[in-house]
Amino acid sequence: MSKQVLILPGDGIGPEIVREAKRVLDLVNQQDDLGLSFAEAHVGGAAIDATGVPLPDATLTAAKAADAILLGAVGGPQWDTNPDFQIRPEKGLLGIRSNLGLFGNLRPAILYPQLADASTLKPEIVSGLDILIVRELTGGIYFGQPRGIREKEGGIREGFNTYVYDENEIRRIAKVAFEAARARNKRLCSVDKANVLEVTILWREIMEEVGKEYPDVELSHMYVDNAAMQLVRAPKQFDVMVTGNMFGDILSDAAAMLTGSIGMLPSASLDVNGKGMYEPCHGSAPDIAGQNLANPLATILSASMMLRYSLDAGDTADRIEAAVSKVLDQGLRTADIWSEGTEKVSTSQMGDAVVAALSA
Ligand code: NAD
């Protein structure tokens, strides 16, 4: 039976980078007889323009029916002024994540040796870096109720959000993280703020409890402020890090920059059954949209993660990752990772090179 992949190009550079990833998927689908079939739908700003809402019913229905979803990025300044937060592009993304129960976000930060110079950190600090950040994605302060901006006595306005996790939410992300650590170097660092926030005292307790089921994985704990510092001081001390939604949002972007470019980093968001949405870690980059400048590799590597985690095609994923490494060996670089002595290429030329490497 064929497997359904839903493609959501989104906004900004989304359509350009997804186009290259789709070319790669079409090729490997044919080469490796994967039996994939594809559908496409609107999300984010593109969906607002087409239908008035960031997550049309048809898109959500297609997302639920699909075996896996590949997303470009959403957002852009033209939609940011809408005072109704429900009609913002990001709501489309958050809506898919919460409706599909995509609670487990895997964000690898790998520094390809060919790009050691692209990092702003010294090569000896980052070369060979290979961290996986596991971020809880559907709970915590981004979703907690009540939330809002209200007026208190004296007409003073105050903003408020609620940081809440129940033990089941913590337990299921803990399991994702321990499983991932078990498949890697068996070290898991749980990041919290248990010296200040009760919700993360519970987080730490449940991590310890789940850890008893994984005696082969070494569990440690770190406060988020220290984790931020350690990530830039000595990032190679980490193997897998697990943390809540907001801390994960921030730490994974910091980890991304250790590698030199956010344009290289894929991500997966998984449900309890391993179905997932795959997307680059970066946003829609409105500053370079439509100029054939964006780096499509994070999206191509997201497609590769999709094959590995949701479509049972790990060997094909290996081939795609080897092809990406090969084009870097050839010295081809989009502008974001370009350095003296390498060849600057466009979005589509980078896609051509990966396709050629896969065909060779
Ligand atoms: P961004 O990641 O879009 O861009 C940050 C910088 O990185 C920009 O200079 C951009 O040109 C560059 N960049 C990003 N991706 C690149 C790529 N593939 N190749 C080359 N350079 C790349 O973040 P931002 O500027 O904070 O946000 C822009 C828009 O994206 C906003 O509307 C924001 O809400 C949205 N956003 C969406 C997502 C998502 O869809 N998952 C994530 C983050 C931000």
Is the pTM here over 0.85, yes or no? yes
- CB atoms closer than 10 angstroms to residue 117: 13
Tell me if 93 CB under 6 Å of ligand 1. yes
Site to substitute for ligand 1 among 282, 300, 349, most atoms within 8 A of C-beta:
282
At 129, which helix (H) or strand (E)?
none
Domains with residue ranges and CATH for the chain:
1-107+267-360 (3.40.718.10), 130-258 (3.40.718.10)
Distance 285 CA to ligand 1 centre (A): 4
Mean pLDDT split into 10-residue runs, the chain, 360 residues: 93 98 98 97 97 97 97 95 89 92 93 84 89 94 95 96 97 94 93 97 98 98 98 96 96 86 89 92 95 97 93 94 95 92 96 97
Helices 347-359 & 297-309 angle (0-180, nearest 10): 40
Name the catalytic one among 117, 225, 287, 318. 225
Residue-level pLDDT at 1? 63
Distance 178 CA to ligand 1 centre (A): 30
Site to substitute for ligand 1 among 284, 300, 334, most atoms within 8 A of C-beta:
284
Q: Are 224 and 192 in contact (CB under 8 A)?
A: yes
Residue-level pLDDT at 56? 97
Give residue 197's Cα distance to chain centre. 26
Ramachandran area for residue 278 (φ above 0: left; ψ -120 to 50: alpha; else beta) = beta
Tell me if 72 CB under 6 Å of ligand 1. no
Looking at the CA of residue 285, tell me the nearest atom of ligand 1: 3
Residue-level pLDDT at 351? 98
Name the catalytic one among 112, 142, 214, 278. 142
Tell me if 299 CB under 6 Å of ligand 1. no
What the block records as the tokens of 286 is 């409105």
In angstroms, the CA 67 to CA 81 distance is: 35
What the block records as the tokens of 197 is 């926030």
In angstroms, the CA 11 to CA 321 distance is: 26
- 225 given a catalytic annotation: yes
In angstroms, the CA 147 to CA 141 distance is: 9
- CB atoms closer than 10 angstroms to residue 221: 16
Distance 140 CA to ligand 1 centre (A): 23
